[in-house]
Amino acid sequence: MKHEWKKQEKSLYLPKNKPELVTVPSFNFFTIDGKGNPNHEAFAEAIGVLYSLSYGIKMLPKKGIIPSGYYDYSIYPLEGIWDLSDEGKATQILDAHSLDKNELVYKIMIRQPDFVTTELAMDTIETVSKKKPHPLLETVKFEAIEDGLSVQILHNGPYDNEPESFERMSQFCLENNLERTKLTHREIYISDARKTAPEKLKTVLRISVK
């Protein structure tokens, strides 16, 4: 039976359009760290590298390679952990409504199935590097990340309107005696921004709390 995250993991990837508390365990990801405006070409290239690795894993059986524990699955969505540079934070202190996207700091990633070991991940990076060389492949990491106790919400609409959803999350934290443990936040892109109108975008927003 094919594992489809939209069906089997709805609580993590398709929450409701209202804040809710969830505990997110550790998962393994291919990740790339970067800085700058996500509308620029460098960000798109990083996404392309992550997908080339993810498809490299998924298509192994078609090459006659079946990793131990392999099962058919849908490739997980793109995710990102977002922060601001020190300069960007200083600017926001002066003007809370100002966001210089060139000062964004990010870790973008695609989750990998449980059967993907570190050895398999490194072999895949090496294979893709030979077939489709790209400088960013040298920066890719395979790492476990655990969000733990978190508040999340499904944000509907343009990315620039996300502050409205974050405000609702902040209110939820206040009402439930929860406190953010990090200034960073996670975004999970359920929609493909290249093919979806801004008003129809669906994005999971998640913050770690205690």
List CB contacts of 103: < 8 A, sequence separation 6 or more: 35, 84, 85, 87, 88, 91
Confidence of residue 88 (pLDDT cuts 50, 70, 90): confident
Given the structure tokens 């999350």, which residue do they identify? 169
35: tokens are 């800085």
pLDDT digits (tens, 9 = 90+) for 5-56: 999 999 999 999 999 999 999 999 999 999 999 999 999 999 999 999 999 9
Confidence of residue 94 (pLDDT cuts 50, 70, 90): low
Q: What is the model's pTM?
A: 0.95
Count of residues making up the chain: 210
List CB contacts of 182: < 8 A, sequence separation 6 or more: 207, 208
pLDDT digits (tens, 9 = 90+) for 158-190: 999 999 999 999 999 999 999 999 999 999 999
**At residue 82, does pLDDT exceed 80?**
yes
Task: Please tell me whether residue 181 adopts helix, strand or coil conformation.
Answer: coil
